[in-house]
């Protein structure tokens, strides 16, 4: 195992539980897999669901979470209701995250 993967695994070993922001992409899938390998049922993957997420991406995330074995929950976000986000400024990701935290 590479030193970076060992470090990530070590970080999870220090935790009682972990919540993984899970898009189903390569990065979050790797983190979810290592979290699950270390923590088992004490790891939870969360996927934000909104019109910003393509339906096939959601299906892929659900499929991969099932294959990993990690518990996976969906949280509905409403960033499309935020004009700061829909105006598509350069910092739109900031507004999506702020909106998600408020809801």
Query: How do the domains of the chain map onto residue ranges?
Result: 3-78
pLDDT band at 84 (very low <50, low <70, confident <90, very high): confident
Lowest-pLDDT choice from 61-65, 73-77, 95-99:
95-99
pLDDT higher than threshold 70 for residue 1: no
pLDDT at 98: 63
Cα–Cα distance for residue pair 23/96, rounded to 1 Å: 14
Q: What is the average pLDDT value for the chain, to the nearest integer?
A: 88
- In the three-class reduction of DSSP (H, G, I as helix; E, B as strand; rest coil), residue 12 is classed as helix
The dihedrals phi and psi of 80, each to the nearest 5 degrees, come to: -70, -15
Query: What is the pTM assigned to this prediction?
Result: 0.80
pLDDT at 86: 73
Cα–Cα distance for residue pair 80/6, rounded to 1 Å: 39
Q: How many helices (H) and strands (E) does the chain have?
A: 5, 3
Lowest-pLDDT choice from 18-22, 42-46, 79-83:
79-83
Cα–Cα distance for residue pair 23/32, rounded to 1 Å: 10
Please state which architecture CATH assigns to domain 3-78: 3-Layer(aba) Sandwich (3.40)
């Amino acid at each position: 195992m590479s030193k970076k993967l060992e470090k990530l695994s070590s970080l999870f070993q220090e935790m009682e539980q972990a919540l993984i922001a899970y898009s189903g992409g390569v990065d979050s899938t790797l983190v979810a897999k290592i979290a699950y390998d270390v923590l088992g049922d004490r790891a939870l993957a969360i996927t934000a669901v909104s019109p910003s997420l393509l339906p096939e991406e959601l299906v892929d995330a659900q499929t991969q979470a099932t294959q990993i074995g990690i518990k996976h929950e969906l949280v509905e976000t409403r960033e499309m209701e935020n004009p700061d986000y829909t105006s598509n400024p350069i910092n739109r990701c900031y507004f999506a995250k702020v909106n998600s935290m408020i809801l």
